[in-house]
Amino acid sequence: MSNPLLRPSTLPYGLPPFPDIRDEHYLPAFDAAFAEQRAEVDAIVALDEPATFENTIVALEKSGQNLRRVEAAFYNVSSSNSNPVLDDIEAQIAPLYAAHRDAIQLNAELFARIRTVYAARHDLDPEARYLVERYHVEGVLAGAGLDMDARLQLAAYNAQLAELNTRFDQNLQADTVELAVVFDNADELDGLDAGQLSATAEAAHERGLDGKYVVTLILFTGHPFLTQLTNRASRERIMAASRARGIHGGEHDNQQTVLEIARIRAKRAELLGFANHSAWVAADSTAKDPEAIARMLGTLAPAAVRNARNEADALRDIAVADGITQIEAWDWGFYTEKARQAKYSVDTAAMKPYFELDRVLEDGVFFAATRLYGITFSERPDLVSYHPDARIWEVFDEDRSALGLFIGDYYARDSKRGGAWMNSLVDQNTLLGMDHAVVVNNMNIPRPAAGEPTLLTFDEVETAFHEFGHALHGLFAHVRYPSLAGTNVARDFVEFPSQVNEMLMLWPEVLANYAKHYQSGEPLPPEWIEALEASTGFNQGFETTEYLAASLLDQTWHRLSAKGAEGVSDVGSFAAAALAAAGVDVPFIPPRYASTYFQHTFSGGYDAGYYSYIWSEVLDADTVEWFIDNGGLTRANGERFRQRLLGVGGSHDPLDAYRSFRGRDAVIEPLLRRRGLE
């Protein structure tokens, strides 16, 4: 009991006691929590009485409470504030966790009890019935119905994949740090504003490179600085470093890891009775079928590429004045901004002084949530999180009752993995008496030097709204059972609430409340806003093509049969052939993620599921039109969206929940209009 991870937290809302947790606590806590849950499951299986919902399903839901606490704290810290000790622990835990999960999911006697409850589920209330159905489908897809030899082989595959996924992630994080681009003088970074230049100098200082400037890499291909840097050679260096991650040789090369992951996933799928990994993943999604995914992506790709090539012609007309006759990947962002300014008089870089971090959060993200849902926020500096950068807010409902805690961790650091994401530290569920949620948003905004304001790019503002949509899903979900809590929904549905929340960024009354100059307080000029709205569809050919290229690459890797995967020996050649076959091999538009740094699909839980973003965007675009047609950001509209979609968490079929909100199935036309693909 001296281990703080192995007892319920006494802090408000069950916030983990991070100041008391040391690195050496994690391994013993995992060991103890694994053993505890195995004993609890053994007790369920050993029961002499017939299987019932209470003695089997509810007992399973109550099992592993310490493990939930340990994993929530550990995986939050290992992704947000890691170190070599935590990296080593994660590598050790990965196969142990896979074995523990398999010991439960592949337990034939336990699954027999689940099948018994499943057969009698029709007498249960809707949430309990849905929970039983989830247990059954997850057991079937996990391989619980296979014979002993097949289950042993399956467990071996799962252990190998756990190790490989962790290796991929750690290689990528290390390579991202090592390949950061060092510049000797500020002239090479001409075009950056004072705050950005200050951030690159601060990054150099943190690495002991005083007097130099370091551009740290981000998760996706390229870098936001490419839209501003006037020095073409500097742009090329940054793009080359970004695309070299995991494929340049050395100890962090991910090529062999990618091949091994693809091969084992294909073998596992065939063992489970599926043609390939994509078919296995789709079986538990709203898409249901990889052919449906292929049809959608294949329908969108030709129009997107056609638009992108037209955009490239327009950019070339501008670039020729600089002696550039061929637009390259590192030129696209720079000349796109020139074209945007020429056509719409929109300069997104000039908007940064109007997007100061605290104002974006409190007067934008939080303000919009208050307008739509009635919730309010109060910062809690008395509560201590896992890193000094991670700030904590208490969240209240309209009647001042508590909803939970929101933690915002916005600055980049070498100990944090790339990208932006939401974590849950505490899931609301009434079964275990967890009445409130604790959720975390992470971003990677470059930290300016001390005393300088944190000014966000246009894309970073959008990301802040997006990730807060996930946070709202976690805060609002009100369920009885832990397995149905928060964002535990189909993977190709989970991005829907976050994408809907992006609409609030440019909603007139929201934008007017937060987009104010950090020094003068003057609002964003109205003519800029009008131009911004007019340019909404600008550059959609590029954005859709780079996204579709990554999605199609993900699908191609995971539609390989076991035999087909064995025949792939070169990652680069395979990817090039896949993009060519899909018609998205556009030289000046690389995929948003290449295979060796495609964290979503090779370590981030979106394997064969990166299509989810545009699949969910169909629902998102349809929902935004509903809000527009029904009066905008009214409390009534917010309450309907909250109660029928966000509030149900994973306790309903997601498409049934959507129909309850919208009154019908989603249609694709709003998405086509948004992306200029009519």
Catalytically active residues, by annotation? 467
Phi first, then psi, for residue 126 (nearest 5°) are -55, -40
Amino acid at 268: R
Of the candidates 20, 198, 165, 166, the residue with the CA atom closest to the CA atom of residue 87: 166
Helix (H, G, I), strand (E, B) or coil at 377: strand
Which single residue is written with the structure tokens 């043609």? Answer: 275
CA angle centred on 273, ends 272 and 278, rounded to 5°: 80
Phi first, then psi, for residue 345 (nearest 5°) are 60, 35
Sequential DSSP letters for 595-614: GGG-HHHHTSS-TTTTTHHH
Amino acid at 123: D
Which single residue is written with the structure tokens 């230049």? Answer: 197
Contact 196, 449 (CB under 8 A): no
SS3 of 616-647: the string is HHHHHHHHHHHHHHCCCCCHHHHHHHHHHCHH
Q: What's the rounded Cα separation, in Å, for the pair 267 and 275?
A: 10
Q: What's the rounded Cα separation, in Å, for the pair 669 and 667?
A: 6
Contact 162, 95 (CB under 8 A): yes
Q: What's the rounded Cα separation, in Å, for the pair 269 and 560?
A: 10
Contact 449, 201 (CB under 8 A): yes
Which single residue is written with the structure tokens 């050395």? Answer: 250
Task: State the burial class of residue 17 (Cβ atoms within 10 Å of its Cβ: 0-12, 13-18, 19+).
Answer: middle
Helix (H, G, I), strand (E, B) or coil at 501: helix
CA angle centred on 427, ends 144 and 369, rounded to 5°: 130
Helix (H, G, I), strand (E, B) or coil at 633: coil
| Torsional sign, CA 96, 98, 101, 102 | negative
Beta-carbon contacts of residue 258 (< 8 Å; ≥ 6 apart): 168, 246, 557, 571, 595, 596, 602
Task: State the burial class of residue 250 (Cβ atoms within 10 Å of its Cβ: 0-12, 13-18, 19+).
Answer: exposed
Contact 610, 550 (CB under 8 A): yes
Contact 440, 383 (CB under 8 A): no
Amino acid at 421: W
Of the candidates 637, 534, 552, the residue with the CA atom closest to the CA atom of residue 301: 552
**Beta strands across the sheet bearing 421-426:** 376-379, 391-396, 402-411, 437-445, 421-426
Of the candidates 254, 176, 252, 174, the residue with the CA atom closest to the CA atom of residue 214: 176
Tally helices (H) and strands (E) across the chain. Answer: 27, 7
Task: State the burial class of residue 122 (Cβ atoms within 10 Å of its Cβ: 0-12, 13-18, 19+).
Answer: exposed
Strand 437-445 and strand 402-411: the pairing is: parallel
Q: What's the rounded Cα separation, in Å, for the pair 264 and 268?
A: 6
Amino acid at 7: R
